[in-house]
Chains A and B, each alone.
Chain A
Amino acid sequence: MNSLMIDKKPLLKVTELKQHFTLKREVVFQAKQVVKAVDGISFELFPGETLSIVGESGCGKSTTGRSILRLDEPTGGDVLFKDESLTKMSKKELRRVRGDIQVIFQDPYASLNPRRTIRQMLDEAMAIQKVLPPNEREARMLELMKHVGLRPEYLERYPHEFSGGQRQRIGIARALAVNPEIIICDEAVSALDVSIRAQILNLLKKLQKDLNLTFLFISHDLSVVRHISDRVMVMYLGKIVEIADKSSLFNNPLHPYTKALLSAIPVTDQTKREDRIILKGDVPSPLNPPVGCRFNTRCPFATDLCRKEEPKLRELESNHSVACHYAEELSS
């Protein structure tokens, strides 16, 4: 993967992306409250890779996905897709390129319109992006159904006639219908039970290979992330704390938060079990994030420096960046 990344241009380049939500005032003269769900993150997504975003709930991983897609208009920063700025595009231009970046949602029950058959969904997707003329769509639909492992006669059915796993396959088929280059999987397998989850993950992997797709995989489930990713990005309170190749991140985590996160993965082999790092307290409110390093309130190694100055994301090893003042000391 590394060699791949060096000679390839990023497909998606996110710079200083910010997504702030202003809360409604509860009292008349209350100061405006701003939730900084995503607060200036930058990363690149290379063609053909799977980059995972992990973090606890509320760390801004889903919001990142939604901002890239402009489902919520980002507050600041820029997203370049093939050197075109998605954030600066007019709505009309944006609709044109939308087909290139698709999304698979978490909830297979909410992500399909209950009143439309699978045929209508797929046909509509192709019609909107004008991928194929109407007379060629039938064959393409059959092909798509085959791709995602559904029987062709299911085309006539409504979503409520399917199980969760099948619905997720339909969601995937709909995303594939417009020949996307990037698919953002927003907790795409979190709502499925374990056996189905494995099936869908393998399907995604297979599709990635066959269709040369690029995945931005958003998940809180580390075992899933470990299974599917090439690179992993760890977020905490709207910031990237660490981003690295999968093996590098899992074998040699540099940030104390990543270490704590990884220690929470259940291990079956008792001899390999390491001490679990239990973090103190809760995630601070994103309304009022800590000054300095955002992790300082819960970090066992926090110093005065951490409480004053925010650490920048810096590349410590090749393809392994971390935002911690003491990463070098802590890794040894």
Chain B
Amino acid sequence: MTVNTSIVETADLMLARRQVRREKRKSFYSSIGQNKAAVVGGIIILLYISMTLLAPVLAPYDPYTINLQEKLQSPSFAHWMGTDDKGRDILSRILYGSRLSLGVGFSSVFFGAFFGILLGLIAGYYGKWVDTIISRSLDVMLAFPGILLALAIISALGPSLINVTIAVGVFSIPLFARIVRGSTMEVKQLEYIDAIRTLGANDFIIIFRHIFPNILSPIIVQGSMRLATAILSAAGLSFLGLGAQPPSPEWGAMLSSGRDFIFSAPYMAIFPGIMISILVLGFNLFGDGLRDALDPRMKK
């Protein structure tokens, strides 16, 4: 091969490479696009995220301003979702509250996933006594009902939204770890892991470059399901008065204050409730679609 032809060949190759990458990206989008439920889920999530970002622009009123003259109004053109017992506009509060709910959801899942994945990979890859210690400790955590564990953590740390995040996150750790551990053990014994070991790769490369990308699908599915439950749990804890403190427009806290007026002003509880349900649904739908699209074997 002369120098010239090799340069030409390399250039051709680079073109081919770019082409292939473009096609790959396209096929990811088209495969997730074909899944209608995932599209719906994705749109819901996007709507919520834009709501979060645009809250100051969209909100017609300040979410904290008390206006007792307009308290407990039913939905109208002035107040699309009505007003609460202190005369605050519910729509504005919901828009601002989306920041809290999504924030708590994402950060607690990220927290739980980070430690869960790490522990799961270590337990699954090294096995033996390492696995025994990690798995038994996780079993202890799993033995607590989630809400009880969260209550214990919050009672130790004090009620606040950040502590709710930590509590929900901690409870997510064993769930992630268990899934990751199982998948790691499954992938670990595949021949391509043996192949990379015979090439002389160290454990770090094997775990993070070869095992981790191959167990992403169950993690993503678990992540989306956990996001849904984390948002629910956070709302639940706030509902119990352990999370967001008044006057914070957290949806769970809004639900809780709406409870007292459930017969006279049901919209106070209905709207935050609907917002929570739709968001949870969106994450579930999207997670499923994402799983299918991320798996290269599902591609045609």
Binding site for B on A (CB under 8 A): 66, 69, 71, 94-96, 98-99, 101-103, 105-107, 110-116, 119, 124-125, 128-129, 138-139, 142, 152-153, 155-158, 160, 171, 174, 178
- Beyond A153-B13, A160-B297, whether A113 also contacts B192 by CB under 8 A is yes
- Beyond A152-B13, A155-B13, whether A114 also contacts B196 by CB under 8 A is no
Task: Judge whether B199 and A99 touch: CB under 8 Å.
Answer: yes
- Beyond A96-B200, A128-B201, A129-B200, whether A105 also contacts B194 by CB under 8 A is yes
B residues in contact with A156, CB < 8 Å: 16-17, 20-21
Task: Judge whether B199 and A114 touch: CB under 8 Å.
Answer: no
Task: Judge whether B191 and A115 touch: CB under 8 Å.
Answer: no
Q: List 25 A-B contacts (CB under 8 A).
A: A66-B194, A71-B197, A71-B198, A94-B200, A95-B200, A95-B201, A99-B200, A103-B198, A105-B195, A107-B191, A112-B195, A113-B192, A113-B210, A115-B213, A116-B210, A124-B196, A125-B199, A128-B205, A129-B199, A139-B6, A142-B13, A152-B13, A153-B16, A156-B16, A160-B297
- Beyond A138-B10, A156-B17, whether A115 also contacts B199 by CB under 8 A is no
Task: Judge whether B195 and A174 touch: CB under 8 Å.
Answer: yes
A105 to B191, CA, bound (A): 7
Kindly provide the distance from the CB of A2 to the nearest chain B CB, expressed in whole angstroms: 31
- Beyond A112-B192, A128-B205, A142-B9, whether A69 also contacts B213 by CB under 8 A is no
Q: Does B202 contact A (CB under 8 A)?
A: yes
A218 to B10, CA, bound (A): 38
Q: Does B145 contact A (CB under 8 A)?
A: no
B residues contacting the other copy or chain, number (CB 8 A)? 29
A residues in contact with B20, CB < 8 Å: 156-157
Q: Does B190 contact A (CB under 8 A)?
A: yes
Task: Judge whether A115 and B296 touch: CB under 8 Å.
Answer: yes
**0/1 string, B178-217, CB within 8 A of A gives 1:** 0000000000001110111111111001000110011000
Task: Judge whether A103 and B17 touch: CB under 8 Å.
Answer: no
Closest to B213 in A: A115
A residues in contact with B195, CB < 8 Å: 103, 105, 111-112, 171, 174
Task: Judge whether A113 and B214 touch: CB under 8 Å.
Answer: yes
Task: Judge whether B198 and A113 touch: CB under 8 Å.
Answer: no
Top 8 closest pairs, chain A to chain B, by CB? A98-B200, A111-B191, A95-B200, A156-B20, A110-B191, A105-B191, A113-B192, A153-B16
- Beyond A128-B205, A156-B17, A157-B20, whether A110 also contacts B198 by CB under 8 A is no
Kindly provide the distance from the CB of B48 to the nearest chain A CB, expressed in whole angstroms: 30
Task: Judge whether A110 and B190 touch: CB under 8 Å.
Answer: yes
A residues in contact with B299, CB < 8 Å: 160
- Beyond A112-B192, A114-B214, whether A158 also contacts B296 by CB under 8 A is yes
Closest to B21 in A: A156
A312 to B9, CA, bound (A): 59
A35 to B24, CA, bound (A): 47
A101 to B213, CA, bound (A): 27
B residues in contact with A102, CB < 8 Å: 198-199
**0/1 string, B261-300, CB within 8 A of A gives 1:** 0000000000000000000000000000000000011010
A112 to B21, CA, bound (A): 20
Closest to B297 in A: A160
B residues in contact with A125, CB < 8 Å: 199
**0/1 string, B56-98, CB within 8 A of A gives 1:** 0000000000000000000000000000000000000000000
B residues in contact with A101, CB < 8 Å: 198
Task: Judge whether A152 and B9 touch: CB under 8 Å.
Answer: yes
Most A Cβ at <10 Å: residue of B9, B192, B198, B201: B198
Closest to B210 in A: A113
Closest to B214 in A: A115
A residues in contact with B205, CB < 8 Å: 124, 128
Closest to A96 in B: B200
**A-contacting residues, B133-185, CB 8 Å:** none
A residues in contact with B197, CB < 8 Å: 71, 98
- Beyond A153-B13, A155-B13, A158-B296, whether A71 also contacts B194 by CB under 8 A is yes
**0/1 string, B15-27, CB within 8 A of A gives 1:** 0110011000000
A99 to B213, CA, bound (A): 24
- Beyond A96-B200, A113-B210, A129-B199, whether A103 also contacts B16 by CB under 8 A is no
B residues in contact with A178, CB < 8 Å: 199-200
Closest to A146 in B: B1
Apart from A110-B192, A124-B201: 5 A-B pairs, beta carbons within 8 A: A98-B200, A113-B196, A124-B199, A128-B200, A153-B12
A114 to B217, CA, bound (A): 13
Kindly provide the distance from the CB of B56 to the nearest chain A CB, expressed in whole angstroms: 41
Kindly provide the distance from the CB of A145 to the nearest chain B CB, expressed in whole angstroms: 10
Task: Judge whether A95 and B10 touch: CB under 8 Å.
Answer: no
Most A Cβ at <10 Å: residue of B10, B191, B194: B191
A155 to B12, CA, bound (A): 12
Closest to B6 in A: A139
A95 to B206, CA, bound (A): 13
Task: Judge whether A128 and B17 touch: CB under 8 Å.
Answer: no
A residues in contact with B214, CB < 8 Å: 113-115
B residues in contact with A114, CB < 8 Å: 214, 296-297
A115 to B208, CA, bound (A): 13
A residues in contact with B12, CB < 8 Å: 153
Kindly provide the distance from the CB of A195 to the nearest chain B CB, expressed in whole angstroms: 23
Most B Cβ at <10 Å: residue of A99, A111, A156: A156
